[in-house]
Amino acid sequence: MTDAIRYEKGQDNIVVLTIDMPGQSANTMNAVYREAMGQIVARLEAEKDSIAGVIITSAKKTFFAGGDLNELIKVTKADAKPFYDMILNIKGQLRRLETLGKPVVAAINGAALGGGWEICLACHHRIALDSSSVQLGLPEVTLGLLPGGGGVVRMVRLLGLEKALPYLAEGKKVRPDAALKAGLIHDIAATPEEMLSKARAWIAANPAAKQPWDVQGYKIPGGTPSSPAVAQMLAIAPSVLRDKTKGCFPAPEKIMCAAVEGAQVDFDTAQIIEARYFTELTTGQVAKNMIGTFWFQLNEINAGSSRPQGIPPYVTKKVGVLGAGMMGAGIAYVSAAAGIEVVLKDVSVEAAEKGKAYSAKLLDKKVSKGHMTAEKRDAFLARIKPTASDADLEGCDLIIEAVFEDRGLKAKVNAAAEAAALPEAVIASNTSTLPITGLATAVQKQDKFIGLHFFSPVDKMPLVEIIRGEQTSDETLARGFDYVLQIKKTPIVVEDSRGFFTSRVFGTFTNEGIAMLGEGVSAAMIENEARKAGMPVGPLAISDEVSMSLMDHIRKQTVADLAAEGKSIPEHPAFAVIDLMLKEYKRPGKAAGGGFYDYPEGGKKHLWPELKARFEKADAQISQEDVRDRILFIQAIETVRCVEEGVLKSVADANIGSIFGIGFAAWTGGALQFINQYGVKDFVARAQYLAEQYGERFLPPALLLEKAAKGEGF
């Protein structure tokens, strides 16, 4: 009847439906599924008098992966009506299944996410395999969507509004044990055989099963929006949500609308409400931006699109980390977490031990929360060896230098480490600004030298920027790429240049914010509009975190380096403000106790009150839109320059690198996708306006003008 869903009726009259989409590694809700499910439901209805019950399972490693993003990304506003009708058809199939009048059990043998979890929710009983590979949830919000196959409607009716919203609006995913505690599933099985056996037993014991919401007298757990407790929660929920999204992400807001509105009407009307909001999001630009970048481009990167081809994969066995400060300690942690032996070296054993203590602190927290056993923690820590001796680097096949941004110091420690490590070892620098080709001259084998730029805090930040120097070999680049994947980070590859990609673009963000302050624009407005534009933190706050002393040090190093090459650094209006903050006001940043912000002990940080008197001018205020655009446009323009100069080789690396590395507004899909979705010609016109008003740094590069003339995007 259909290859996509096998229909097998046993002697006990229980039908086992095995979803096995042909030619796919995972099951998805595409056209093949829709046709197959339609046929299956019709057959079940026709044969229901001879059926005892239904079990739904999967032939794949995962149960069901969800909606087909290849289809969803192509849906336009012109397709809204047929798309909406198709969604109602999918919902209708699942509704017919749950109202068949026979017990239906989901035997969840692998991850059931998105549409997969929605299929499970339409079953009367859910049993999951007790396996670490099984995850359950509705992550659609992370791609700018909402669960459109009944997920919002059923989760609210299963758990109640308050408990359902974290799964819906935050994309919370859970393992089977947590799902059982939360009431998402009813049982757990140790093996697939036990799972099917339990499913059959439940069907036999519950021949007249119904969904809770189909039982007469059913009430939503916790109450409807009109009940006092829920009304109280909903009174503040929109403002809490808006504080998180800053109005940039429509999906969480539409999810809340669908959940709250759907809780006030009958089931079928709630399904229509959900379908309308789902159609609105799917046809909107933000979902296109997020699906394109966080799914297609991220998968492209992780599949090795920027890795040199034809070189066998390499597994790093022992890494030597030079410098046990915050960055070195973090690199040691993520390496040991991946099962790699680590030698953590600093000037003294005490300093190295302090770096190891960072890992101990993170692991102790996991143990106290029950996320890790004490034995596993001890085994983890045993993989990190603190030392002050180069001799302990013997046997290392990778060295990562993470000392202060000083060329002389880096040269000294890298040369010593190369002599102690394996002859074939790759030597990497975690520099964020110094050109790799210059640093490579300190070692004998420059072809084995590379940049591995981590981001702070290393244990949380998902990106590593790999920098290829002039002498770096393909094999070295491939080994660096493989190591980044080994430690479960996302690698982007850039060519060597001052500031590489991320630090260079990040500098334009902080400098633009500081320049606006120097012009007299209100500091509060700069910070607020940056967050409204989608940046996680304002440019003044992040400058305090980085420290203006470090920014000044990097500028001086750059001036000296360029002077040696007979070049000069372009002046920027931010420099005068930084000089004032450092020399006159003695406020370098957070670590020194104050910068653009005050940091009262035990209190919440707030903008330094003196900024108003010392910088702000009533007649210098500009529009909120100009503040937001200056912050986003300057970063996008610098990203185009990186492409133009050959620093960036791929659009995927640019978009993912800008979001994961420097927090570029995620709703845009990244710095280049921001230009695409704005419209290249419109972007050029707006950039020219900004250049006239605020300086030549906004002038569109030649590559951008060329793209606009041809009507091309990135």
Query: How many whole angstroms separate alpha carbon 118 and alpha carbon 188?
Result: 18
Query: How many whole angstroms separate alpha carbon 96 and alpha carbon 15?
Result: 16
H-state helical runs in 442-501? 474-486
CB distance 134 to 176 below 8 Å? yes
What lies within 8 Å, CB to CB, of 618 at 6+ separation is none
CB distance 112 to 64 below 8 Å? yes
Residue 671's nearest CA partner among 481, 496, 506, 431 is 506
Residue 332's nearest CA partner among 365, 307, 301, 354 is 354
Q: Half-sphere exposure (CA, 13 Å, Cβ side) for 603?
A: 9
What lies within 8 Å, CB to CB, of 371 at 6+ separation is none
Task: Examine the residue annotation and report whether 186 is marked as an active-site residue of this protein.
Answer: no
| Burial of 667 (C-beta count, 10 Å sphere; 0-12/13-18/19+) | buried
- Give the full edge-to-edge strand order of the sheet including 384-387: 384-387, 341-345, 318-322, 398-401, 426-429, 449-454, 463-468, 490-495
Residue 4's nearest CA partner among 278, 402, 29, 457 is 29
- Beta bridge pairs of residue 631: none
Query: How many whole angstroms separate alpha carbon 315 and alpha carbon 342?
Result: 14
CA 242 to chain centre: 20
Considering 124, 125, 453, 572, which one is annotated as catalytic?
453
CB distance 133 to 81 below 8 Å? no
Query: How many whole angstroms separate alpha carbon 328 and alpha carbon 430?
Result: 9
Q: Is 104 helix (H, G, I), strand (E, B) or coil?
A: strand
* Cβ density class 20-50: b for 16+ within 10 Å, e for less: bbeeeebbbbbebbbebbbbbbeebeeeeee
Query: How many whole angstroms separate alpha carbon 514 and alpha carbon 634?
Result: 13
Query: How many whole angstroms separate alpha carbon 538 and alpha carbon 510?
Result: 8
H-state helical runs in 206-249? 228-245
- Give the full edge-to-edge strand order of the sheet including 112-113: 112-113, 136-137, 173-174
Catalytically active residues, by annotation: 453
